[in-house]
Structure 1
Amino acid sequence: MTFTAPLTGVVPPVCTPLTPDREVDTASLIRLVDHLVRGGVDGLFVLGSSSEVAYLTDRQRRTVVETVVGHVGGQLPVLAGVIDMTTPRVLDHVRYVTEAGADAVVATAPFYTRTHPAEIARHFRLIAAGSPVPVLAYDLPVSVHSKLAAELVLGLAAEGVLAGLKDSSGDEGGFRQVVMGARARGGISGFSVLTGSELVVDSALAMGADGVVPGLGNVDPEGYVRLYRYCREGDWERARAEQERLCGLFGMVAVGDAGRMGGSSSALGAFKAALHLRGVIDCPATAEPQVPLSAGEVERVGKFLAGAGLL
């Protein structure tokens, strides 16, 4: 499917189901994609944080893109993360995901290396020059240790380098600066502003965001599709109620014991446990070295699902 700008709606970052021996479970991945498509989502983002992209080998990344693009068959746009430390490595990923049929690519700022904002801008310009499909920036300072400034993003958008921003910074003021800046420039042609913060979708859409990229959307795509529709219809009372229901469901990400596992193990483990409990994927395994949830923690995930009407 040709990428249509600006991208709008609900575009979940697709989890990557794994087998017990930590290979990509393509059959479960296809069922997950079908679950999301039935839920009414507007696009799919593979190889993002909720996809465990940082844990996957290059071979596994290729398998994910090829499986999803091959199965979706142009029904929805497929965005593929090309996340890596430096520009040459990112361009390698751009090459194989676009050869596999990805409709757009999503890249963070460089990391591990210490970069200046001018070098971050150069990074995105070089990616755009080497990509046959649109490029979206992914603002994820908790992982890459640099924040994409609003003026940098807006400047690259005005140049035609960036087709969008996925903001997972948690900085609502900075997010609003991008939305306001784009509007002040008369609306930058084809540029989408998407929030990755699943707890404040109603607020982001009220600010003027174009859409949402919710990790929790793997578990409850219908809920985020309803929330998006209520916001677009201006039914803010129903939107608030739906957002608050999803906030309650999001509590599952904290089921893991912080004394023995990190936040990634807890959150991604909860999403996968929920998908397993809902019968979408065969195995809730997360990639090494993440610690699996205990039976008691999985039981708590089930209680969150039941409380949200999903079991």
Structure 2
Amino acid sequence: MTSSHDQILSGIVPPLCTPLTPSGEIDTTSLVRLAEHLLTGGVDGLFVLGSTGEVAFLTDEQRGIVIETVVHAVRGRVPVVAGVIDTTTPRVIPHLEQAAALGATAAVATAPFYTRTHPAEIEKHFRLLASATELPIVAYDIPVSVGTKLDAGLVTRLAQDRVIRAVKDSSGDDTGLRQLILSTSEAETEDFAILTGSELTVDAALSFGADGAVPGLGNVDPAGYVRLFEAARADDWDGARAEQERLFALFGLAKAGDTSRMGAASSALGAFKAALHLLGVIDCPRVSDPYIPLDAAETAIVAAHLEKADLL
């Protein structure tokens, strides 16, 4: 691992779920409790308004409530990075302004989506974002959602020019992740951080040289991912593998939903929220419309995974 104290992010930085009330409003009390749950687990930062935070479903006002609530709750103990995810550059910039005004440490942006873009246009997008704010920009590589994989050469150029200061790689492409780590290392990009978005291959990514992880399952078991990271940092790769394998089994809860009646995202997000509800962290496991909530039988599957992992 190549973590530096000058990096804006490293270690375990979970992407927070966004707790909702039964009527679909932001449950700020539960959100504060969730932030404290993660901090107690020893995490190194918090990422609000990512995919796990259901950012695409929230109004601009709700996004602001999430950022303001978490920044106030954290009180500078760890970095709070905020997703500013939207379809095109002119739509992202107001989210950047909101995140800066509310005290976020950095902003997380994807490539443009819905509209088709050329790599040169993606590069222009990130350069325009960087020129529009003093917040550090974290590139979010999530091709399953935006339809575009960020090229290692593009990311390296942007890192060299300090247009972006980190990348969250949720591509699921371990070969591409390794190429990116090698490319940025050879280019001697200053204090650039690479974090994996995978819950299941964190030990492998850290062995490649990644600087940390942004695991959605970290909402449920933050301390487990912190133990994994600390073992890797100590070159205890057997310990890191053992912790990863325990978390791999725990991640089975994400498949609790019946695929004949809901999609994978409903199942995973519903399971994370059901787990947090069972653990007493959030008051309500509601997911955003049109996601479908878990039923009692599916929630029982989540509970069984928590019990097997000695969390419940």
Q: Do Structure 1 and Structure 2 share a fold, with TM-score over 0.5?
A: yes
Q: Does 1:40 align with 2:42?
A: yes
For 2:311 and 2:291, locate their aligned partners in 1 and report how far apart those are by CA, in whole Å: 26
Q: Does 1:19 align with 2:36?
A: no
Q: Does 1:158 align with 2:160?
A: yes
Alignment of 1:95-134 (within 5 A): 95-134=97-136
Calculate percent identity across the aligned residue pairs: 60
Q: CA deviation at 1:73?
A: 1.1
Superposition RMSD on alpha carbons, in Å? 0.9
Matched position secondary structure for 1:281? coil
Query: Which one of the candidate residues 56, 59, 65 is aligned to 2:61?
Result: 59
Q: Which residue of 2 is the match for residue 241 of structure 1?
A: 242
Q: CA deviation at 1:109?
A: 0.3
Q: Which residue of 1 is the match for residue 7 of structure 2?
A: 5
1:206-265 residue CA offsets vs partner (Å, 9 max, x unmatched): 000000000000000000000000001011111111000000000111110111111111
1:176-224 residue CA offsets vs partner (Å, 9 max, x unmatched): 11100111123x1121000001100000000000000000000000000
Q: Does 1:282 align with 2:265?
A: no
Query: Which one of the candidate residues 72, 75, 78 is aligned to 1:73?
Result: 75
* TM-score, structure 2 normalization: 0.98
Judging changes above 3 Å, is the alpha-carbon distance between structure 1 residues 215 and 109 closer, same or farther for their aligned structure 2 residues? same
Matched position secondary structure for 1:80? strand
Q: CA deviation at 1:7?
A: 1.9
Q: CA deviation at 1:4?
A: 4.5
Q: Which residue identity does 2:17 align to in structure 1?
A: C
For 1:92 and 1:146, locate their aligned partners in 2 and report how far apart those are by CA, in whole Å: 23
For 1:129 and 1:114, locate their aligned partners in 2 and report how far apart those are by CA, in whole Å: 23
Query: Which one of the candidate residues 139, 148, 156 is aligned to 2:150?
Result: 148
Q: CA deviation at 1:80?
A: 0.2
Identify unmatched segments of 5+ residues in structure 2. none
Matched position secondary structure for 1:66? helix
Q: Which residue of 1 is the match for residue 192 of structure 2?
A: 191
Q: Which runs of 4+ in 1 moved over 2 A?
A: none
Matched position secondary structure for 1:51? coil
Matched position secondary structure for 1:49? coil
Identify unmatched segments of 5+ residues in structure 1. none
Judging changes above 3 Å, is the alpha-carbon distance between structure 1 residues 4 and 103 closer, same or farther for their aligned structure 2 residues? farther
Q: Which residue identity does 1:43 align to in structure 2?
A: G
Q: Which residue of 2 is the match for residue 213 of structure 1?
A: 214
1:259-300 residue CA offsets vs partner (Å, 9 max, x unmatched): 111111100000000000000000000001101101000000
For 1:127 and 1:6, locate their aligned partners in 2 and report how far apart those are by CA, in whole Å: 17
Q: CA deviation at 1:10?
A: 0.3
For 2:18 and 2:256, locate their aligned partners in 1 and report how far apart those are by CA, in whole Å: 20
Q: CA deviation at 1:8?
A: 1.1
Q: CA deviation at 1:310?
A: 0.3
* TM-score, structure 1 normalization: 0.98
Q: Does 1:269 align with 2:239?
A: no
Q: Which residue identity does 1:248 align to in structure 2?
A: A
For 1:233 and 1:260, locate their aligned partners in 2 and report how far apart those are by CA, in whole Å: 44
Q: Which residue identity does 2:205 align to in structure 1?
A: A
Q: CA deviation at 1:6?
A: 4.6
Q: Is the 8 A contact 2:9 2:79 kept in 1?
A: no
Q: Which residue identity does 1:57 align to in structure 2?
A: T
1:100-121 residue CA offsets vs partner (Å, 9 max, x unmatched): 0001000000000000000000
For 1:4 and 1:36, locate their aligned partners in 2 and report how far apart those are by CA, in whole Å: 23
Matched position secondary structure for 1:45? strand
